[in-house]
Amino acid sequence: MPSQPVASPITFRSATQEDCADLVVFADMATRRLTSFLWGQVAAPGQSALEVGRNVIRNVEGHFTYFDNWRVAEHKGQLVGALNGYVIPHSSGSALAAPDVVQPLNELKNLAAGTWYISVAAIYPEHQGKGLGSLLLAEAESLAILAGNDRLTLIVGSFNAGAYRLYQRCGFTEYARRAYLGFPGSDEGEWILMVKDLSPHPDFCDVAE
């Protein structure tokens, strides 16, 4: 039986430290396990990759995934999704060496420097198909405009066809592609940079997902 549209309002709020366990999951969902793979590379012996991620999100203020940089979505008092975004800084030419798997992502981010970048937009599976993805994107547009930015960007995998279609419906267009460098258990395909130019008043896209 198909999912039904959300009947009651979705509310957004700033994330708190108490949300960090959920934020870890959302970050990993949005990156198709790339985030947990990277966390695992720096985990101590016997330490969970998700434990590393929780510590970063909870405690590392300078990191873009720090909980203060998130908005969470609630439906009927239940946390159902989350959004993380920021303005991509222009390269200083002194970037630190990064693992090979993220080099294509960094190349695309360099192309998007100065834009308001959606790093994570994720909904728990049991709440998907109800229009929540489009509401997360509308929230991102509002935040970008509030920050004085007129361009929104994101990166999606070519293997994530449902998300790609949603972004197209919401006004994003493809800008560039880079090869996807895999890791154990990963997808195969390409990373796609998508962009949307913003008007002063963000438009809601079709909520069908």
Nearest CA among 125, 121, 146, 148 for reference residue 135: 121
- Distance between alpha carbon 33 and the CA centroid of its chain, in Å? 12
Domain count for the chain, please give it.
Answer: 1
Backbone angles phi, psi at 48, to 5 degrees: -70, 145
Asked whether residue 50 is assigned to any structural domain, the reply reads yes
- The mean pLDDT value for 22-40 works out to 96
Please list the alpha-helical segments (H only) found in 72-176: 103-111, 132-146, 161-169
What would the pLDDT profile of 175-192 be if each residue is shown by its tens digit?
A: 999 999 999 889 899 999
The CA distance from 113 to 110, in Å, is 5
Asked whether residue 203 is assigned to any structural domain, the reply reads no
Beta bridge partners of 118: 85, 154
Say if residue 87 is exposed, middle or buried (CB neighbours under 10 Å; 0-12, 13-18, 19+): middle
List the domain range (segments joined by +) for residue 104.
Answer: 10-197
What would the pLDDT profile of 60-118 be if each residue is shown by its tens digit?
A: 999 999 999 999 999 988 999 999 999 999 875 545 567 899 999 999 999 999 999 99
Asked whether residue 204 is assigned to any structural domain, the reply reads no
What would the pLDDT profile of 140-189 be if each residue is shown by its tens digit?
A: 999 999 999 999 999 999 999 999 999 999 999 999 999 999 998 898 99
Asked whether residue 118 is assigned to any structural domain, the reply reads yes
CATH number of the domain encompassing residue 88: 3.40.630.30
